[in-house]
Chain A
């Protein structure tokens, strides 16, 4: 539409995954990511598996909806390992997937677990050679003495086969658990970050990695903060940011020195000391950081809010959005059940828009997810639920009642299901299509067309 994006009407499109409530741990979705064109949508799970969906080509007769996403490829990316030296189990859970921009017919993505990053090539095969002289069709070798005439093998079409193969394994560079990977705008290098260190890799080189940030103190007793997320700037190939468990973000420039321990900028919102409590630091821990597509802004997610920062202003965010402020008076029980440590991600709307509107999206509990429109300053709460799964029916906004009289259609805070968390969401880079992951299901919503 011509106006701002503040009146997007979201409709259910698809849901993937099992219906039953008994969720196997391996099926817990741990990451969701569209590729650069939006044609492919990848998910990773706790079982180390990657599933890639492909959007079907738009059907000109079906003008009421955009293409559906169907399974394109699925493979086992990581397997469980045991580090015998340290008596450490290495989980196969996929922490992050990041797509490379497409350079040729094949698609490439990076997937990582706690310790190892892998570069996967996903390629299509739709023809195969037939008519060899020395081999039968079933592969058995023919006796050369029986060959009386020669023929030229030809390629014949076959059913489309999508193959995934690991092209690079980037291992043994992280003592602590990898939380982020980010591909540089030079498309040649990428960074990987764990709790205490950030490493720079070249996509072609697996036996070497440069350490660019190291915040490990000489004495571990003095440890006060850890790295929680890191990302390269979308346009400036020497700039990256990393966030911490204390709610700070540091911007570093790799041209300044080989080891970027001294930040170029430090983003931190001053805290009101009179409001400080036991929980303050825990809920200020940043679980995700994302640059805007222009690179002018960045967004951070902490336990209760989403903050937008202008890279030119370090002393406070330009905007703060409350995701679920009603949880502030439940922090005691959220600490006891560990929910206070849940790591929510956040994302921007797609970049390829004519109209200058900006929306941010993030998840919450009870399978709710939230959207904030930066232009209109309006927000909405929606629910990912199979009860809403009539295509083209607009999702009904939800409202949580914090206290006092609960109105009809509102949900009271105490009725929220804290096991139903939406930690991972993704927005199609060009269209108003979003992917929302509940514990073990993937929902796809589209805006209502016509």
Chain B
């Protein structure tokens, strides 16, 4: 019989915090202790928790400032990783060649069938 072990995780809607404060009425709540730890490590951390800096970062996921050199380098590395069986890329831009849009390697989607289907 798979009798569930341990204490019930169910709590009344008066809040899970109550459990903590009951146990450690005089001690610092665990969240505050963790906050103190974080502030000790990163004293310059923004005063406004979860404020607009954090959200802006979330909204800009994937944003890149375009630099053709960096872009090519990154794509070449990524392309090699995703297609380990592919030979040396003939279109790899090297040396003094000025990249043009045609030279930018198109990110290839995964050509391999998902391993879930294997």
Residues of A within 8 A of B (CB): 7-10, 16-18, 26-27, 29, 43, 45, 47-49, 51, 71, 74, 76, 78-82, 86-92, 114, 176-177, 195-196, 220-226, 245, 269, 272, 275, 277-282, 285, 304-305, 316-323, 325, 328-332, 335-336, 370, 372, 377-381, 394-397, 399, 440-442
Query: Would you call B4 and A280 a contact (CB within 8 A)?
Result: no
Q: Is the interface of B mostly helix, strand, loop or mixed?
A: loop
Query: Would you call A322 and B16 a contact (CB within 8 A)?
Result: yes
A-B CB contacts (within 8 Å), total count: 191
Closest chain-B Cβ to A148's Cβ sits at a distance in Å of 47
Closest chain-B Cβ to A431's Cβ sits at a distance in Å of 18
Closest chain-B Cβ to A121's Cβ sits at a distance in Å of 19
The closest CB in chain B to the CB of A82 belongs to: B107
Chain B residues 5 to 23 lying within 8 A of chain A, measured CB to CB, are: 5-6, 8-13, 15-17, 20
Query: Would you call A88 and B63 a contact (CB within 8 A)?
Result: yes
User: B58: CB under 8 A from chain A?
Assistant: yes
User: B86: CB under 8 A from chain A?
Assistant: no
Residues of B within 8 A of A (CB): 1-6, 8-13, 15-17, 20, 29-35, 37-39, 41, 45, 49-52, 54-56, 58-59, 61-66, 82, 107-110, 112-118
Closest chain-B Cβ to A177's Cβ sits at a distance in Å of 6
Query: Would you call A76 and B9 a contact (CB within 8 A)?
Result: no
Task: Give the residues in chain A near B55, CB-CB below 8 Å.
Answer: 223-226, 245
Complex partner residue of A395 from B2, B39, B58, CB under 8 angstroms: B2
Query: Would you call A224 and B8 a contact (CB within 8 A)?
Result: no
Q: When A272-B15, A332-B37 are in contact, do A281 and B50 touch as well, CB less than 8 Å?
A: yes
A80 to B104, CA, bound (A): 14
Task: Give the residues in chain B near A224, CB-CB below 8 Å.
Answer: 51-52, 55
The closest CB in chain B to the CB of A43 belongs to: B116
Complex partner residue of B38 from A74, A76, A220, A335, CB under 8 angstroms: A335
A177 to B50, CA, bound (A): 19
Complex partner residue of A87 from B50, B66, B113, CB under 8 angstroms: B66
For this complex, 20 residue pairs linking A to B, each with C-beta atoms less than 8 Å apart, are A9-B2, A18-B115, A27-B116, A43-B114, A87-B64, A89-B107, A92-B109, A220-B56, A221-B52, A222-B52, A275-B17, A275-B29, A277-B49, A320-B10, A321-B9, A325-B16, A331-B31, A332-B37, A397-B2, A397-B3
